[in-house]
Amino acid sequence: MRRYFTHFGLARDPFLDTADPEFFCETPRVRESMTRLESSIADGRGLVIVTGPVGAGKTSLSGALELSCLKDESVAFGKILDPAFGSETEMLIAIGRVFGLNLPPRSSASLKNALKNLFFDMGVLENRAIVLIIDEAQSLEPFGLEVLRLLLNYQVPEKKLLNVLLFGQPELGERIRARQNVADRVDQWIELRPLDPGELAVLLAHRLHRAGLPEGQRIFSDEAMNGLVRASGGYPRRAIVLGHAAMVAAAESGAGGVFSEHLDEALRRTGSQPLPFVTAEAAAPAVGIAPLSPELPEPPVDGSPAEPRRGWWASMLQRLFPSAAGERR
């Protein structure tokens, strides 16, 4: 079976919706978040909260940090994907398991003591940073937050023995702030917001080039890329899903590139509606920056077709994709 991306001469699927580190793109804001996470771990500060709406890039950020930790022998790493535990005992056993300690069911006090000894051995005797990532952390029950609070009490004078990084949807932040004894232990609050158009254009270009698109070439026409960036509302996952659907539609029609009609078909196939950008710039537009709302073209003077005006980020698209998309056929 021929894969759609081979129609465009690519070696890999550029818009696979997984946290593949090969496609991880460090925009300035993502780099700032990574730096804050790594600094907290290096300093043994304990608890970091990362929140953001669905599709804002939490999984990609978590996956990139995981890869970094796994490459570092001085880090002991564990990850819990689904923290919907039924009891405190179940949660403690799961934490031990991700660090290679198989604990039999027993009293909560015994399990905590076993974890304390494990963390002391790894963190002090082996001098390793211990990192526990919990995804979908908004699913933690109140007893789960209390378990983490108690584990964060395990420390030596120079550092916390356990670094806990909670990734979750915005309600996670609300739940943490409602528990003062947990909120007081937070070293970093990191909020992931939708990308601005320029950042999203960089991300899309990065994925296409990593998939095998030669530098200086492009697949999407100006109108299609412009529409894809706008329709995503700044959410990477949405842009990836729409980009995939648009390329599939173009390949099925035998087109030499992706054009606006293929994006329209992608929106239809995915049942999507274009989302508005909600960014700091949109909330308080800066002087000299064009608004993100669509603009009408100037009326033609000599009867020739009007040229549509372009937003402030169109020049970035032109730099990223300087040559025209393939000819229609």
28-191 against 196-288+308-320: fold identical: no
C-alpha distances (whole Å) from 236 to each of 6, 7, 326 are 23, 24, 25
For the sheet containing 162-168, what is the strand order?
75-80, 129-134, 162-168, 47-51, 186-191
200 alpha-carbon distance from chain centroid: 12
Closest CA to 132 of 105, 171, 92, 175: 92
Residue 327 pLDDT > 60, yes or no? no
Q: What pLDDT was estimated at residue 318?
A: 56
C-alpha distances (whole Å) from 118 to each of 47, 58, 59, 180 are 19, 29, 28, 28
Sorted by where each begins, the domain ranges of the chain are 28-191, 196-288+308-320
The token pair that represents 171 in the structure block: 């309600």
pLDDT top residue among 25 and 288:
25
Dihedral angle at the C-alpha atoms of 67, 68, 72, 76, nearest 10 degrees? -70
Q: What pLDDT was estimated at residue 317?
A: 54
The CATH class, in words, for 196-288+308-320 is mainly alpha
Tokens 């648009």 -> residue: 246
Query: What mean pLDDT do residues 197-201 have?
Result: 91
Contact of 98 with 78, CB cutoff 8 Å: yes
Please tell me the least confidently modeled range out of 29-38, 259-268, 312-321. 312-321
Rounded CA separation 262/47 (Å):
45
- DSSP assignment of 2-47, as one string? --GGGGGT-SS-TT--S--GGG----HHHHHHHHHHHHHHHTT--E
Contact of 226 with 265, CB cutoff 8 Å: no
CATH 3.40.50.300 fits domain 28-191: yes
Contact of 196 with 232, CB cutoff 8 Å: no
Residue 312 pLDDT > 80, yes or no? no
Categorize the per-residue pLDDT at 258 as very low, low, confident or very high, splitting at 50, 70 and 90.
Answer: very high
User: How many helices (H) does the chain have, and how many strands (E)?
Assistant: 13, 7
Torsion sign (Cα): 319, 320, 322, 324: negative
pLDDT top residue among 80 and 218:
80
Categorize the per-residue pLDDT at 22 as very low, low, confident or very high, splitting at 50, 70 and 90.
Answer: confident
> Mapping DSSP to helix (H, G, I), strand (E, B) and coil, where does residue 266 land?
helix
Q: Tell me the average pLDDT of the chain.
A: 86
pLDDT of 144-170, one tens digit each? Answer: 999 999 999 999 999 999 999 999 999
Angle at 217 between CA 211 and CA 218, to 5 degrees: 70
Q: What pLDDT was estimated at residue 283?
A: 38
Closest CA to 248 of 219, 215, 213: 219
